[in-house]
Structure 1
Amino acid sequence: MSVVPFSALACPLDGDVLVKAGGSWQCVQGHSFDVARQGYINLLPVQKKRSRDPGDSKDMVVARQRFLSAGYYAPVANAINAALLKGVAADKEISVLDAGCGEGYYLRQLAGALGASPSLQVLGLDISKWAIQSAARQHEAIRWVVGSNANLPVVSGSLDRVLCMFGFPVYSEFARVLREDGLLVQLDPGTAHLRELREIIYPSLKPVRDNKDTIPAGFESVSTETIHYQAEIQSAAMVQDLLTMTPHLYRANAEGRARAAQLTSLSVTIEVTLKTLRKTTRTDIES
């Protein structure tokens, strides 16, 4: 069992293979990307950014790290690990991308739970430089990259697994980078997810989109499961971290945020849908 950095990276400007040369990664066209002192690589060119500082803010990343480290999402991590490793022989090496990895909690949980499971080549990618900086400081054996799901800096057909959690799936890119019969493990919020918090901060609740039966083009369904449990948050600080790490902080009005700030504890529903999809060459699947 081992965890090693994924190395089949591609230039985000022209798609050519990147090769490590000293403290940078270079393609044959002469494009060069330096390895930051924290160990990560920024493969999100300025011309491909939609804002100066895209993705989660530094405050969101710090709050998420504290909250997830407290174990409230451990059952979710365990289910993800099982889905990613199901059916893989212990003597096989597989490659895994977390597309939208945040500060790396779920990849660290995967790496720590391997036991006699297969060896992994691992890549964590996020559009937020703050998230990747945090991730790189916490686990050096994983390759961490600032990049976009819309233009994955990954060689085509080089991955066995792609994980996408609460993120922005780009199915055409996922299909491109997966090997034949590779798996996409996707996690989406269920209709009751964080309901109690949402009821406090919003005047009324909008229905959560239920897309668990949607199968994107280029994939076929393998399995779907729902993870549902109650998390008991016993401190005001952790309640605030939960709010800060989600987009709800910025969607709520001032009155809603003030109500949340008065909470000293919260019993909140965690409900997520975990879908496993297999890459297929079929063209008759509904998108």
Structure 2
Amino acid sequence: MPIDAFDALACPLDGEALHRHDNAWVCPQGHSYDQARQGYTHLLPVQHKRSKEPGDSKAMVEARQRFLAAGHYQPVVELIARLCCPNPLPETTFNILDAGCGEGYYLREFSLLVPESMRVAMAGLDISKPATLAAAKQDKRPTWLVASNAHLPVQDASLDRLLCIFGFPVASEFARVLKPEGRLIQVDPGPMHLHELRTLLYQQVETELEPKAPDLDGFRLVEEDEVSYRFHLTRADDIQDLLMMTPHGHRASAEGRARVAQLSELELTAEVFVRVYEPLVG
């Protein structure tokens, strides 16, 4: 499938459209952002940071790369692709942004699943510089950005699809950048997701038997689907990668992490909800 770099970018300081000049993006006010030699662009001003090095660490990114490359979440990818693809296929270039893209796994996999006749412009952004760097190293075709969901460096009404996969939706920003006919694909863990791991880590694990779709201001839920399955980790290193790539790696107590460290295999439940929202017009 042909993939174009997404170019409808906006200056994170003043919101003006960015234009490409050699290896830099420049706005009419003169703000300039160089593309790194690895292929990503840093569009996260210091005033938009809450810490010196926000987002996932290099170790978390590397653990996620190894875990996802093994295909444990492939059924999740396939459901996202099915709900993301338009029907009928568009005649013009389809603009997709992955907000909170991590190391780019879902965009790379999506590009393998959509029809060959569909032309797509892709961008992925993450607040973590190590994550965006890893994404850019693996696939040069999309536009990769260090940026925040709270201040998307994207022009108004420029996106056909916005993916937020295990991330943090910012409804006002998401509504701003989507076309009126665009769709938000919100992906969240279900109550039984990684239940076996959480039971080992914590003394008490609560599960909501009937999870409700979150209400997002400015959006209407139009479709919802779920994927649930079991998968088996057969190496201690794989279990540690899963722990490291999730927030549980630093939330759990030392005792809980020690229990997990003793395991050489673990059978787990994956439960993921994929919800499609449309922006409310007017």
TM-score (norm 2): 0.97
The answer for the alignment partner of 1:217 in structure 2 is 217
Letter in 1 for 2:259: R
Q: CA deviation at 1:214?
A: 2.9
1:119 maps to 119
* Residue 162 (structure 2) aligns with: 162
Structure 1's 197 and 135: CA in aligned 2 closer, same or farther, altered over 3 A? same
The gaps in structure 2 that reach 5 residues or longer are none
CA distance, structure 1, for counterparts of residue 137 and residue 129 of structure 2: 12
Other-structure match for 1:15: 15
* Unmatched tracts of structure 1, length 5 or more: 283-287
Tell me the alpha carbon deviations over residues 12-56 of structure 1, each in whole angstroms, 9 at most, x when there is no partner.
Answer: 000000111111111011111110010100000111100000000
The structural deviation recorded for 1:117 is 4.4
Instruction: Tell me the distance in 1 between the aligned counterparts of 2:83 and 2:251.
Output: 32
Percent of matched pairs sharing the same residue? 50
Partner of 2:37: 37
Whether the 8 Å CA contact 2:191–2:211 is kept in 1: the answer is no
Residue in structure 1 matched with residue 153 of structure 2 by the alignment: 153
Give the match for residue 186 of structure 2.
186
> Contact 1:90 / 1:116 at 8 angstroms: preserved in 2?
no
Q: Is the 8 A contact 1:56 1:130 kept in 2?
A: yes
User: 8 Å contact 1:90–1:117 — kept in the other structure?
Assistant: no
Tell me, in whole angstroms, the C-alpha distance in 1 between the residues paired with 2:147 and 2:269. Answer: 32
Look up the SS of the partner of 1:60 in the other structure: helix
Question: Counterpart in 1 of 2:56?
Answer: 56
Correspondence 1:255 to 2:255: yes
**SS at the partner of 2:205?**
coil
Q: Which amino acid aligns with 1:149?
A: N
Tell me, in whole angstroms, the C-alpha distance in 1 between the residues paired with 2:46 and 2:55.
Answer: 14
Cα deviation for residue 101 of structure 1 reads: 0.3
Question: Where has structure 1 moved over 6 Å in runs of 4 or more?
Answer: none
Aligned to 2:87: 87
Once the two structures are overlaid, the 10-residue window that deviates more, 273-282 or 3-12, is 273-282
Cα deviation, residue 179, structure 1: 0.4
Q: Residues 12 and 152 of structure 1 are in contact (CA less than 8 Å); yes or no, is this contact kept in structure 2?
A: yes
Q: How does 1:244-283 map to 2 (within 5 A)?
A: 244-281=244-281
Shift of 1:88: 4.0
Mapped contact 1:231–1:267 kept (Cα < 8 A): yes
Q: 1:155 and 1:211, CA in 2 relative to 1: closer, same or farther beyond 3 A? A: farther
Query: Relative to structure 1, is the Cα distance of residues 208 and 108 closer, same or farther in structure 2, using a 3 angstrom cutoff?
Result: farther
Query: How many Å separate the matches in 1 of 2:259 and 2:276?
Result: 38
Q: For residue 176 of structure 1, give the secondary structure of its aligned residue in structure 2.
A: helix
Q: Give the superposition deviation at 1:210.
A: 6.8
Q: How far does residue 205 in structure 1 lie from its aligned partner after superposition?
A: 1.1
Cα distance in 2, alignment partners of residues 276 and 143 from structure 1: 24
Q: Which residue of structure 2 lines up, in the alignment, with residue 285 of structure 1?
A: none
User: 1:202 maps to what in 2?
Assistant: 202
Contact 2:233 2:239 in 1 (8 A): yes
Change (3 A) 1:146 1:91: same
Q: CA deviation at 1:175?
A: 0.4
Give the corresponding residue for 2:65. 65
- Shift of the 210–34 alpha-carbon distance from structure 1 to 2, 3 Å rule, reads farther
CA contact (8 A) 1:91 1:117 kept: no
Quick one: distance in 1 between partners of 2:128 and 2:57?
Answer: 7
Q: How many residues align?
A: 282
Alpha-carbon distance in structure 2 between the residues aligned to 1:183 and 1:117: 21
Question: Displacement of 1:209 after TM fit?
Answer: 9.9
Contact 2:63 2:242 in 1 (8 A): yes
1:103 aligns with 2:103: yes
* CA separation of 1:170 and 1:208: change in aligned 2, threshold 3 A: farther
